[in-house]
């Protein structure tokens, strides 16, 4: 059973023989009622404060959960970005290696072509030198034939002069 300040104020005690002084009892009850009323107001104010603080705590907890979820999401996004950047770097590196291999392969192919061209030019030079030698030799032989023919004609012409 809850006692209110009004209950204290309205409480009447029956008169008894050799009882307490009625005025003192009523004065005391009035004092107790006013103190009790003040305590009831204070309790209501404290309950109101507690209720308001509970609401604030609930709001703060809600914000904390939202911040934690945001942090988790941000960490996950950071990890995703990091993983994506790592994969992109691997792809870029692989493409660069492939392009480097293509360049080296192209240079090697050009080198082989140049070596083949040099070999072909050496062969052509040798063939040309052989042809030139053959022509020079044939002209040399032709000159020899002409010299022999000139020598025979001179011999034939010389005796004719002596006559």
* Residue corresponding to tokens 């809850």: 2
pLDDT tens digits, residue range 73-132?
A: 999 999 999 999 999 999 999 999 999 999 999 999 999 999 999 999 999 999 999 999
**DSSP structure class, residue 162:** H
Alpha-carbon Rg for the chain in angstroms: 64
Give the pLDDT score at 61.
Answer: 97
Report the domain count for the chain: 1
Question: What region does 43 belong to: left with phi over 0, alpha with psi -120 to 50, or beta?
Answer: alpha
Give the pLDDT score at 22.
Answer: 77
- pLDDT higher than threshold 60 for residue 156: no
For 163, the 3-state DSSP assignment is coil
> Average of pLDDT values for 133-141?
92
Give the pLDDT score at 113.
Answer: 96
Of the CA atoms within 13 Å of residue 15, those in its CB half-sphere come to: 2
Domain limits for position 103: 5-162
pLDDT tens digits, residue range 1-47?
A: 577 777 777 877 777 777 777 788 888 888 888 888 899 899 999 99
The dihedral sign for the CA sequence 115, 118, 124, 127: negative
Give the pLDDT score at 153.
Answer: 65
């Amino acid at each position: 059973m809850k006692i209110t300040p009004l209950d204290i104020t309205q409480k009447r005690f029956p008169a008894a023989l050799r009882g307490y002084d009625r005025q003192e009892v009523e004065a005391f009850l009035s004092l107790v009622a006013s103190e009790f009323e003040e305590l009831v107001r204070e309790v209501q104010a404290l309950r109101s404060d507690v209720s308001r603080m509970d609401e604030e705590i609930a709001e703060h907890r809600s914000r904390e959960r939202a911040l934690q979820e945001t942090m988790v999401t941000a960490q996950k996004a950071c990890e995703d970005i990091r993983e994506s950047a790592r994969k992109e770097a691997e792809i870029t590196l692989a493409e660069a290696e492939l392009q480097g291999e293509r360049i080296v392969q192209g240079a090697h192919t050009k080198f082989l072509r140049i070596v083949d061209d040099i070999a072909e030019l050496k062969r052509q030079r040798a063939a040309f030198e052989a042809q030139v030698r053959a022509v020079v030799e044939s002209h040399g032989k032709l000159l020899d034939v002409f010299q022999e023919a000139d020598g025979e004609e001179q011999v034939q012409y010389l005796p004719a002069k002596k006559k």
